[in-house]
Amino acid sequence: MSSVYDNYLKEHNFSLRLEQWAKQYKNKKVILYGCGLLFDKIVELYDIKNKLNIVAVCDVKYEKNKPDTYLGFKTIKPSDLSKTDYDVLIFTVFDHLTCLNYLNTFDFFHENKEFRYINEMALKGKFISFILKAKTAAKYLAFTKNPFKTAKYFFSCNNIEFNSKLNYQKVLKRLRKKKDKIKVIFIVESNQKWGWQSVYDELKKDSRFELLLVTLPLTTRFKDKIYPQKEDIEFFSQRNMPIIDGYDYKNEICIDLKELGADIIFYTHPWFVDVHKIPPSITSEFALTCAVSYGFNLVESKCWGTTTPRNFCSNLWTMFAESKWHKPFYENGTNLKNKDILFVTGYPKMDAYNLPVNPEFEKIWKDENHTKPRIIYAPHHSIERDGGFGMSNFVEQAQFFLDFAKNHPQYEFLIKPHPVLKSKCEATGFMTGEEYENYIEQWRELPNGNAYTLGNYYDVFKTSDILITDSSSFLGEYFVSGKPIVLLESKSRMPFNDFGLELRKGMYKPQEVEEIENILEEIFEHGNDSLKETRDRIIKKQFVLPEGGVAKRITDYIKKQLLL
Region 55-73: mean pLDDT is 90
Name the percent of the chain lying above pLDDT 90.
60
| pLDDT > 80? residue 228 | no
Region 238-253: mean pLDDT is 85
Query: CB under 8 Å to 511, separation ≥6 — which residues?
Result: none
Reported as a single tens digit per residue, the pLDDT across 470-503 is: 988 899 999 999 999 999 988 777 788 899 999 9
Reported as a single tens digit per residue, the pLDDT across 433-456 is: 999 999 999 999 999 999 999 878
Reported as a single tens digit per residue, the pLDDT across 41-52 is: 999 999 999 999
pTM of the full structure: 0.78
- The overall average pLDDT reported for the chain is 89
Reported as a single tens digit per residue, the pLDDT across 351-404 is: 999 999 988 899 999 998 899 999 999 999 888 765 567 788 898 999 999 999
Region 61-65: mean pLDDT is 83
- pLDDT, residue 423, reads 84
276: phi then psi, degrees, rounded to nearest 5: -85, 0
- CA of 183: how far to CAs of 207, 209, 280, in Å? 11, 6, 17
| Sign (positive or negative) of CA dihedral 419, 428, 35, 83 | positive
Region 152-167: mean pLDDT is 93
Q: Tell me how far apart the terminal alpha carbons of the chain are, to the nearest angstrom.
A: 60
- pLDDT, residue 385, reads 61
Class of residue 427 by CB neighbours under 10 A (exposed 0-12, middle 13-18, buried 19+): buried
Reported as a single tens digit per residue, the pLDDT across 117-159 is: 888 776 666 677 788 889 999 999 999 999 999 999 999 998 8
3-state secondary structure of 85: coil
Region 309-327: mean pLDDT is 91
- pLDDT, residue 105, reads 65
Region 260-272: mean pLDDT is 87
| pLDDT > 50? residue 240 | yes
At 455, which amino acid appears? Answer: G
- pLDDT, residue 1, reads 38
Tell me whether the CATH fold assigned to 128-347+549-561 matches the one assigned to 357-542: yes
- Confidence class for position 255, pLDDT limits 50, 70, 90: confident
Class of residue 498 by CB neighbours under 10 A (exposed 0-12, middle 13-18, buried 19+): exposed
The whole-angstrom separation of Cα 83 and Cα 384 is: 9
| Kind of pairing between the strands at 253-254 and 247-248 | antiparallel
CATH class in words for 357-542: alpha beta
* 236-240, 262-266, 277-281, 395-399, range with greatest mean pLDDT: 262-266
Q: How is the chain split into domains, by residue range? A: 4-117, 128-347+549-561, 357-542
- CA of 139: how far to CAs of 119, 136, 163, 342, 482, in Å? 28, 5, 9, 24, 51
- pLDDT, residue 64, reads 78
CATH of domain 128-347+549-561: 3.40.50.2000
Alpha carbon 94 to its chain centroid, in Å, reads 24
CATH of domain 4-117: 3.40.50.720
- pLDDT, residue 220, reads 47
Decide if 438 contacts 402 (C-beta within 8 A). Answer: no
Reported as a single tens digit per residue, the pLDDT across 81-90 is: 888 999 999 9
